[in-house]
Amino acid sequence: MGASLPELLRRPAVLWSTLAVALAAAVVTVLLVVPGADDGPADGNGDYLDASLPIDERVEDLLGRMTIEEKVGQMTQVTVGAVEGSPSDVAEYGIGSLLNGGSEALFATAEEWAAMIDGYQAEAMETRLGIPLMYGIDAVHGNTAIPGAVVFPHNIGLGAAHDADLAGRAAEVTAAETRAAGIHWTFAPCVCVARDSRWGRTYESYGEDPGLAIEYAGPVVAGYQGEDLTANTSVLATAKHYVADGGTAYGTSTTEDYQLDQGVTTMSEEELRAIHLAPFQAAVDAGVGSVMASFSSTDLGEGPLKVHADEYLITDVLKGELGFDGIVVSDWQAVDQVSADYAEAVRASINAGIDMVMVPFEYQGFTSTLLSEVASGEVGEDRIDDAVSRILGQKFALGLFEQPYADTAGAAAIGSDEHRDVAREAAAASQTLLRNDGDLLPLTGTENLYVAGSGADSIGRQTGGWTASWQGSLNPPTQGTTILAGIQEAAPNAAVTFSEDASEPLAGADVGIVVVAEDPYAEGVGDAGAGEHDMAVSEDDAAAIHTVCAAVDCVVLVVSGRPIEIEAHLDGVDALVAAWLPGSEGAGVADPLFGATPYDGRLPVSWPRLIADEPLNVGDADYDPLFAYGFGLQAA
């Protein structure tokens, strides 16, 4: 998903808590008086309420009872902030889904989240047919909207670990910590293939090789969705962004100030299928319940076309050839980009095969526009029926007709030691050793250590973007262990001096550890060249490397969502580790540093000497990276 969040989503949490309490109280009243909550819809009991029937029969029965207005309502997804002041609009417009834009951390606990969502669900259950809504969120590396939830390494780190089963276990934990808050749907996994590390979404990719995304898609989808989508540990997964968002050319973005994100992918159809489409086939084969269309455009030789309006790619290829039978959901306000004429944009997107539109604000305008397009015959009712059938099918699969309200029984496990152990294991497995002169690593844990750098004591930097908010923050409301704390925990017998800018005296130090880091960013804003994010070591971190590594044996840990320009700073550096964005468990970074686990990570992307060398991918002519794809030393 993607777009900057409006001010209405940044309101103080106390306002949301007040709303949650009021809405939660409303649930009790609604359950007593609303037909459909327990006793069936107001127009009588239907076969669709019979849980013993196959889902396709239930869908057919319910679809036959729906008006065109009810169908269009089901195709409408609205950000929760847009209905904050008018929750009754959920019922009035028959809204099919709400979402939380940018994973904004609105509440402190799962129970508060569930109370808020249940309040809106109560509104949905007031409708004539009692069709429950789905609530979606960007839980892309943990449910970071809850401050106490576990935050996993971003996908690029999981790709470095080359362990798809471990990634699947991370998805299982994320699903459990998401569904326990009453949230049914995550917009993950991203199965994009990052072919240019200047892209601000590089860390959302498992790597530059489609084989990684293909390998990971199945276990991760299974981790999110589990064996039973009705379980309170399962969420609907979303394979994104369909298709080829990782292959856009630099400078082609349609959004001002972006460079790669939302740009144009120009290649032959054969290349597109081999590199970018294949991971989606793997996700479909794994039973993924939804696919999100990409902001980007593709040019297969006849000029660029927005994916959201590409009937060939969505309907013929995804739904036809690949056999996808779930929901195709649009990205954040992406339909608006199809045409300056909104009616034309809606018409083209729906006819192309978009089933649910992430509006996300002007739902009144969207519903009236789509109804007009149907009335005029520009959008056929069969296309509407196909879209709504897919949406209803996933709602039945999630068990929402039988259990529309949240089951928070799993809330106590959120942030548990058991869950954090998985995140720590994933962080450790992602660590990629790129230099180890003199076998400096692993350290013994008895040295006098001098720790410096902007990433050493910063939860915000080590968790990166899509953590508690869209672009992330240097101070996100996220609990965890910093890398510095992890070092102190792993080496209790070591004397540790910490000086972020290396201004403290180095006298007496045996080994220096400099943790350089990127500041958090996400899509678009993080495109190199789009602003302050330029894949370079900051001046302060560069100075810390120079100061520390000129004085003692030293290790440089690079906390980043992609390779950065490091070659010019390697004089005097004895050991170099790509730590990626390890998440909330900084102790996982320390584990291989001190030999508790081995260094097994391998580069999931080629590491360029200079930013100007991008795009750089294994197999390119004149391939000359600083570190090649798949490189990684072993130690311990």
The pLDDT tens digits for 263-275 are: 999 999 999 999 9
pLDDT greater than 50 at residue 409: yes
Kindly report the average pLDDT of the chain as a whole number: 93
The CA–CA distances, whole Å, from 227 to 258, 566, 630 equal: 40, 44, 33
Q: Of the candidates 448, 443, 444, which has an alpha carbon nearest to the alpha carbon of residue 433?
A: 443
pLDDT of the residue at 578:
99
pLDDT greater than 70 at residue 630: yes
DSSP letter string, 288-300: -SEEEEPSSEEES
DSSP letter string, 321-385: IS---SEEE--TTGGGGT-SSHHHHHHHHHHHT--BEE--S-HHHHHHHHHHHHHTTSS-HHHHH
pLDDT per residue as tens digits for the range 506-557: 999 999 999 999 999 999 999 998 778 999 999 999 999 999 999 999 999 9
pLDDT of the residue at 13:
36
- The CA dihedral of 160, 166, 172, 177, to the nearest 10 degrees, is -60
Cross-sheet strand order for the sheet of 357-358: 185-186, 134-137, 97-100, 76-79, 357-358
Tokens of 238: 């979303």
Tokens 């944009």 belong to 345
Tokens of 378: 């520009």
The Cα 549–Cα 545 span in angstroms is 6
The CA–CA distances, whole Å, from 208 to 197, 204, 246, 274 equal: 9, 11, 9, 13
pLDDT of the residue at 1:
66
- The end-to-end CA distance of the chain, in Å, is 40
pLDDT of the residue at 9:
34
pLDDT greater than 70 at residue 40: no
Strands 305-306 and 297-299: antiparallel
pLDDT per residue as tens digits for the range 435-476: 999 999 999 999 999 999 999 999 999 999 999 999 999 998
Tokens of 571: 């004089």
pLDDT of the residue at 36:
33
C-alpha triplet 544, 547, 550: angle, nearest 5°: 130
Kindly state the helix (H) or strand (E) to which residue 558 belongs, with its residue range.
Answer: strand 553-559
Residues 290 and 221: beta-carbon distance below 8 Å:
no
CATH superfamily of 9-137+355-407: Glycoside hydrolase, family 3, N-terminal domain (3.20.20.300)
pLDDT per residue as tens digits for the range 182-194: 999 999 999 999 9
Assess whether the previous peptide bond of 360 is cis (omega < 30° from 0): yes
Q: Of the candidates 330, 336, 384, which has an alpha carbon nearest to the alpha carbon of residue 358?
A: 330
CB contact set of 40 (below 8 Å; sequence gap of 6+): 46, 49, 130
Residues 50 and 396: beta-carbon distance below 8 Å:
no
Q: How many Cα atoms occupy the beta-carbon half-sphere of 545 within 13 Å? A: 25
The pLDDT confidence band at residue 35, using thresholds 50, 70 and 90, is very low
pLDDT of the residue at 635:
86
Q: Of the candidates 86, 114, 111, 88, which has an alpha carbon nearest to the alpha carbon of residue 100?
A: 114
Strands 238-242 and 76-79: unpaired
Residues 211 and 577: beta-carbon distance below 8 Å:
no
Q: What is the CATH number of domain 415-613?
A: 3.40.50.1700
163, 204, 331, 447: which is the annotated catalytic residue? 331
pLDDT of the residue at 103:
76
Tell me the mean pLDDT in the region 320-327: 98
The Cα 632–Cα 128 span in angstroms is 60
Kindly state the helix (H) or strand (E) to which residue 97 belongs, with its residue range.
Answer: strand 97-100
pLDDT per residue as tens digits for the range 222-254: 999 999 999 999 999 999 999 999 999 999 998
Task: Say whether 331 is catalytic.
Answer: yes
What percent of the chain clears pLDDT 90, i.e. is strictly above it?
90
Q: What residues does each domain of the chain span?
A: 9-137+355-407, 415-613
The helix/strand/coil state of 165 is: helix
pLDDT per residue as tens digits for the range 293-319: 999 999 999 999 999 999 999 999 999
pLDDT per residue as tens digits for the range 97-111: 999 988 788 899 999
pLDDT of the residue at 529:
85
204, 523, 553, 591: which is the annotated catalytic residue? 523
pLDDT per residue as tens digits for the range 337-354: 999 999 999 999 999 999
Q: How many other CB atoms are found less than 10 A from the CB of residue 337?
A: 19
pLDDT greater than 80 at residue 5: no
The Cα 535–Cα 33 span in angstroms is 58
Tokens 């009712």 belong to 381
Task: Say whether 523 is catalytic.
Answer: yes
DSSP letter string, 101-133: GGG----SSHHHHHHHHHHHHHHHTTSTT-PPP
The Cα 42–Cα 101 span in angstroms is 33
Tokens of 430: 């992602």
The Cα 89–Cα 75 span in angstroms is 15
Radius of gyration of the chain (CA): 25
Residues 299 and 266: beta-carbon distance below 8 Å:
yes
Q: How many Cα atoms occupy the beta-carbon half-sphere of 300 within 13 Å? A: 14
Q: For CA atoms 155, 157, 160, 163, give the dihedral sign.
A: negative
